[in-house]
């Protein structure tokens, strides 16, 4: 992939802090930078509490970012939003959530839920056009017209997740943020949903920000990956770079913790532990050290020297 073209999403030094009390602030996201290019999938991984969801929510402007710049398809969406920018954002960026049941109105039929966004943003000229779009997207995500007339609770988990995806994709967004959208599903259904997301990407050219803690699935779906820890992106690179040549000790420990379905190997393997404080690592002191034009590690010069030589 050539990196010379304009990214669809450019994030620079994004910070999202939460003031908990007068004395205490949680720095959920503390100065992260990355780009996402059109048509690709960028995976964001990291342990619980590392700031992945907060990043997603800040991008789609459920929060007001504390600091930093977000350029989305040429629009600066980091500060106060103008009316046009707001409407551009609401129609072109969509989010799919972890628990589909929690965000689907139980009293509305699935087809109504999917049509909601189109109606709110007046994206169609007529009711007929709305209906057509809804039935086309239902078909794309593998649900029948009859299923469109059912209520969310009448579906299995995997089917509900399809509804969530249909609702996001019917808007024909440029960017979809998928936050742990398959974590609650079991393996065989995860595979169905991931395959479907890939097919839709091939067909519609949608760009994904795929947030998850299951690294094997992230590896499978992503072109590039960002590894987050405590509000910082400690390493980013193409999927191959991250899996074949991880540099940051946190990335290494994360990769070593993935259980493999191979009993003999798995029973002998011990995960690599990483203790940032014991190793004296301070993320705010690190800078981006580039290994290729796609792969960087957050480190001080000495840390980089040390980590890269092993």
Which C-beta is closer to other proteins: that of 128 or that of 267?
Answer: 267
Site of tokens 């964001």: 44
Residue 189's binding partner out of other proteins, Mg ion, ligand ATP, none, with CB under 5 to 8 Å set by partner kind: other proteins
DSSP string covering 14-48: EEEEEE-SSS-EEEEEEEEEEEE-TT-EEEEE-ST
SS3 assignment, position 146: helix
**Interface residues for Mg ion in 59-98 (CB under 5 A)?**
none
Position 190 contacts ligand ATP (CB under 6 A): no
Position 188 contacts ligand ATP (CB under 6 A): no
SS3 assignment, position 185: coil
**Minimum gap (Å) between residue 234 Cβ and Mg ion:** 17
- 177's enclosing H/E stretch is strand 175-179
Cα dihedral 174, 106, 153, 172, rounded to 10, equals -10
Angle between helix 157-169 and 127-140 (nearest 10)? 130
Candidate residues 168, 185, 200, 281; the one interacting with other proteins per rule CB under 8 A:
185
**Interface residues for other proteins in 164-183 (CB under 8 A)?**
183
Position 251 contacts Mg ion (CB under 5 A): no
**Minimum gap (Å) between residue 64 Cβ and other proteins:** 26
Candidate residues 18, 145, 285, 305; the one interacting with ligand ATP per rule CB under 6 A:
18
Beta-strand relationship, 287-290 and 296-299 = antiparallel
**Interface residues for ligand ATP in 24-53 (CB under 6 A)?**
26, 28, 46, 48-53
Q: Which residues bind ligand ATP (CB under 6 A)?
A: 18, 26, 28, 46, 48-54, 213
Binding site for Mg ion (CB under 5 A): 53
């Amino acid at each position: 992939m050539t990196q010379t073209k304009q990214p669809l999403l450019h994030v620079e030094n994004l910070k999202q802090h939460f003031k908990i009390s007068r004395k205490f602030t949680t720095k959920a996201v503390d100065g992260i930078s990355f780009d996402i290019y059109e048509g690709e999938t960028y995976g964001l991984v990291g342990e619980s509490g590392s700031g992945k969801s907060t990043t997603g929510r800040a991008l789609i402007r459920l929060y007001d970012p504390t600091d930093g710049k977000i350029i989305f398809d040429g629009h600066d969406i980091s500060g106060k939003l103008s009316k046009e920018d707001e409407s551009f954002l609401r129609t072109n960026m969509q989010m799919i959530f972890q628990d589909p049941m929690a965000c689907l109105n139980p009293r509305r039929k699935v087809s109504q839920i999917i049509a909601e966004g189109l109606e709110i943003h007046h994206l169609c000229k007529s009711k007929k056009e709305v209906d057509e779009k809804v039935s086309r997207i239902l078909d794309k995500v593998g649900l029948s017209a009859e299923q469109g007339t059912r209520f969310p609770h009448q579906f299995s988990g995997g089917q509900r997740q399809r509804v969530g995806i249909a609702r996001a994709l019917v808007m024909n967004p440029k960017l979809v943020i998928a936050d742990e959208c398959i974590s609650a599903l079991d393996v065989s259904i995860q595979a169905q949903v991931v395959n479907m997301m890939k097919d839709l990407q091939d067909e519609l050219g949608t760009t994904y920000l795929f947030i998850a803690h299951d690294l094997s699935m992230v590896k499978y779906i992503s072109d590039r990956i960002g590894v987050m820890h405590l509000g910082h992106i400690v390493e980013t690179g193409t999927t191959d770079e991250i899996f074949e040549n991880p540099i940051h000790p946190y990335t290494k420990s994360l990769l070593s913790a993935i259980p493999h379905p191979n009993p003999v190997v798995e029973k002998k393997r011990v995960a690599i532990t990483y203790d940032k404080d014991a190793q004296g690592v301070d993320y705010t002191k690190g800078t981006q050290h580039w290994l290729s034009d796609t792969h960087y590690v957050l480190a001080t010069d000495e840390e980089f020297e040390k980590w890269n030589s092993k």
